[in-house]
Amino acid sequence: MQRRAVFVLAAALSLAACRSRSNQRTYAVHGQVVSVTPDRQEATVKHGDIAGLMPAMTMPYKIKEKAQLDAVKPGDVIDATLTIVENDAYLTGVKKVGEAPLEEAAPEPATVTTGKGLPLLQPGEVVPDSPFVDQDGRKRAFNSFRGSMVVLTFIYTRCPLPTFCPMMDRHFVSIQERLHDDPALKHVHLVTVSFDPAYDTPSVLKKHARELNADLSRWTFLTGDPEAIGKFGARFGVFVTRASNDPRDITHNLRTAIIGPDGKLIKVYTGNEWTPEEILNDLKPVANAD
Ligand SMILES: [Cu+2]
């Protein structure tokens, strides 16, 4: 959700995974708190590899007990348990085990962020065209969606945490159901862009679409040139940082947008706070006005 922090963990990292109840997985996490966001009950933690789950990365995590969140501050080195249930992920048992200066850290592996410095699109502005390739390997320019109301989001299929990219997928599944049920929404099209095109090839996206039960006549998955995708996403405020030493180590935020049939931006939703209901409510008046 947030971009990679520029600070690194000075302390050694150690992680171990273990399985508990059938549907619930827990992982031992050792890392350093980079920032705390009390209003979201989250702390951004830089941690090492979590075996079987994800490579080293810096991500915001919900801390289940508010008292535990209140007890940590940036620079704290913590032990915690990451619990992943079907649609949720959070830290419990957060214990401070040390402190390390955030700024006197070992050098961060080089990272690449595309599209920095490009202006954010404002509502009413025309979304620039961009070349993509769809889940069937066909060339698909973004402008080819003109004439439809578009709900656009950005994900990568390997995203390990259920509250991030997989939540965008689940929300799109819910919206898709409503599109089928509601004739007022018949001109709405869903578009999911992968910002991990090196891994998310058309065939990977096709498989992903199948797993989501996506109706490909109403929902298109796009991949393509990493540079072009980076620039396109940046206009919506999507920032993706890749560690050069591990291509799976992707730090990213989330943006979802509604674009009118005329290709003009209507609204951008930030992060994972929005609900399918909200988007459907925002879609209806515009869809009906056409
Ligand atoms: Cu993700």
Question: From the CA of 287, how far away is ligand 1's center (Å)?
Answer: 29
Q: How many CB atoms lie within 10 A of CB 92?
A: 14
Q: What is the DSSP string of 217-261?
A: TTEEEEE--HHHHHHHHHTTT--EEEETTEEEEEEE--EEEEE-T
Cα distance between residue 100 and residue 96, in whole Å: 11
Average predicted confidence (pLDDT) for the chain: 85
pLDDT at 197: 95
Q: Is the pLDDT of residue 238 over 80?
A: yes
pLDDT band at 208 (very low <50, low <70, confident <90, very high): very high
Rounded to an integer, the average pLDDT of 261-285 is: 93
Rounded to an integer, the average pLDDT of 49-68 is: 84
| 47-58 residue pLDDT tens | 878 877 877 777
Question: From the CA of 267, how far away is ligand 1's center (Å)?
Answer: 21
Question: From the CA of 1, how far away is ligand 1's center (Å)?
Answer: 8
Question: From the CA of 167, how far away is ligand 1's center (Å)?
Answer: 9
Contacts of residue 279, Cβ cutoff 8 Å, sequence gap at least 6 = 151, 171, 175, 256, 258, 269
Question: From the CA of 172, how far away is ligand 1's center (Å)?
Answer: 15
pLDDT at 46: 86
Region of poorest pLDDT, from 88-97, 112-121, 269-278: 112-121
Burial class (CB in 10 A: 0-12, 13-18, 19+), 81: middle
Question: From the CA of 11, how far away is ligand 1's center (Å)?
Answer: 26
Question: From the CA of 213, how far away is ligand 1's center (Å)?
Answer: 20
| 24-49 residue pLDDT tens | 888 999 889 988 988 888 998 888 78
Contacts of residue 276, Cβ cutoff 8 Å, sequence gap at least 6 = 171, 174, 175, 178
Amino acid at the residue 135: Q
According to DSSP, the β-strands at 188-194 and 149-155 are parallel
Q: For residue 266, which phi and psi values (nearest 5 degrees)?
A: -100, -50
Question: From the CA of 157, how far away is ligand 1's center (Å)?
Answer: 8
pLDDT at 239: 87
Rounded to an integer, the average pLDDT of 121-145 is: 98
pLDDT band at 225 (very low <50, low <70, confident <90, very high): very high
Q: Is the pLDDT of residue 2 over 50?
A: no
| 154 alpha-carbon distance from chain centroid | 7
Amino acid at the residue 173: V
Cα distance between residue 266 and residue 167, in whole Å: 22
**What is the phi-psi region of residue 156: left when phi exceeds 0, alpha when psi lies from -120 to 50, beta otherwise?**
beta
Q: Is the pLDDT of residue 233 over 90?
A: yes
Question: From the CA of 183, how far away is ligand 1's center (Å)?
Answer: 32
According to DSSP, the β-strands at 111-113 and 240-243 are antiparallel
Rounded to an integer, the average pLDDT of 248-256 is: 85
pLDDT at 7: 32
Rounded to an integer, the average pLDDT of 142-149 is: 97
Q: Tell me the percentage of the chain whose pLDDT exceeds 70.
A: 86
Q: Is the pLDDT of residue 174 over 80?
A: yes
Beta bridge mates, 192: 153, 221
**Three-class SS of residue 47?**
strand
Q: Is the pLDDT of residue 234 over 60?
A: yes
Query: Whole-structure pTM over 0.75, yes or no?
Result: yes
Q: Where are the alpha helices (DSSP H) in the chain?
A: 66-70, 165-181, 202-211, 226-234, 276-289
pLDDT band at 16 (very low <50, low <70, confident <90, very high): very low
